[in-house]
Amino acid sequence: MITENRSTPPASRHVNDYVDTHCHLFWETFSDDLPDVIARAREAGVRQMLIPATDFATFEQAAEIADRFEGIFLAAGIHPHDAGELPPDFIDRLRMLAQHPRVAAIGEIGLDYYYDFTAPHVQHRVLNAQLELAKELDLPVILHNRDSDEDLLAIVREHQDGTLNGQFHCFSSGAEYALRVLETGFHISFTGNVTFKKSRLDPVLSLVPDDRLLIETDAPFMTPVPWRGKRNEPSYIPRIAERYAEARHQSVEHIAAVTSTNARRLFALPSPENTSDHHE
Ligand SMILES: [Zn+2]
Ligand SMILES: [Zn+2]
């Protein structure tokens, strides 16, 4: 007969503490099992998650998720894909949404020249206005960049007067560009893209200083190997952290510590709740 020996705690699996700084949990693909997705994230150590909206409707959906679960934070913003048909008062509406107590950033905003959903000059106008709003509200920004390296950096530089900060999310450009991004004071984060066989991101990963490095899934997109082809979710963050650790010749524990510290500093997140943390 096996008796419980209370003097010996169960063998504990060490779980690192992570912040997934970019996951779109409002996507329909999560609607059936969101509580399980969030439970798996917490088991993997991902205790805080930031959901960037892409427009007004997705902000409302993200805010509902933040009402239901602890550790969920929000960004209010208009994605370049959705910048085409905005009401004239869109900045006033964003300013109001940003009053939500879980809003940590203006995002995701930026430029996307890969898809031509919105003309570049319209994307510029919408981005400029949102960068000004971020400065007015003293919030960091979450930047989306697809095939728009030079224009995006030029616009950020125009607005950078020392008060603007933020994240170049899903970084996929080269080392030389990363160095110029770092000169603006911004942070850089990568997704499952660093696990892809064809990834040339290791040299970029290794040049980002510890205090500018963030981590994200961009779920449900950019699923890391070996789950490529499936839906991405925040519980895959440790896999991305492993690749960070390999490329940077640092321990996974170190990656977890610096990316979490940076995320909490940049987005002014509170210390994570201990109540939802029952690791065994
Ligand atoms: Zn994006
Ligand atoms: Zn995104």
At 42-89, the pLDDT tens digits run 999 999 999 999 999 999 999 999 999 999 999 999 999 999 989 999
Interstrand relation of 141-146 and 213-215 (parallel, antiparallel or unpaired): unpaired
Q: How far apart are CA 104 and CA 123, in angstroms?
A: 23
Query: pLDDT per residue over 213-236, tens digit each?
Result: 999 999 999 999 999 999 999 999
Beta bridge partners of 48: 19
pLDDT, residue 11, reads 57
Task: Tell which phi-psi region holds residue 149, choosing left (phi > 0), alpha (psi between -120 and 50) or beta.
Answer: alpha
Nearest ligand to the CA of 27 is: 2
Asked whether the beta carbons of 75 and 100 are under 8 A apart, the reply is: no
Residue 78 CA to ligand 2 centre (angstroms): 11
Reported as half-sphere exposure (CB side, CA atoms, 13 A), residue 195 has a value of: 21
| Helix or strand run (H / E) with residue 127 | helix 120-137
pLDDT, residue 273, reads 67
Residue type, 260: S
Domains, in order of start, for the chain: 18-266 (3.20.20.140)
Residue 23 CA to ligand 2 centre (angstroms): 7
Nearest ligand to the CA of 145 is: 1
What mean pLDDT comes out for the span 147-158? Answer: 98
Nearest ligand to the CA of 80 is: 1
What mean pLDDT comes out for the span 105-116? Answer: 95
Residue 279 CA to ligand 1 centre (angstroms): 32
120, 187, 176: which is closest to 147 by C-alpha?
120
| Number of CB atoms found within 10 A of residue 122's CB | 15
pTM of the model: 0.93
∠ Cα 131 132 135 (to 5°): 90
Place of tokens 């209010």: 76
- Percent of all residues in the chain with a pLDDT value above 90, rounded to a whole number: 90
- Percent of all residues in the chain with a pLDDT value above 70, rounded to a whole number: 92
Residue 109 CA to ligand 1 centre (angstroms): 8
Residue 58 CA to ligand 2 centre (angstroms): 12
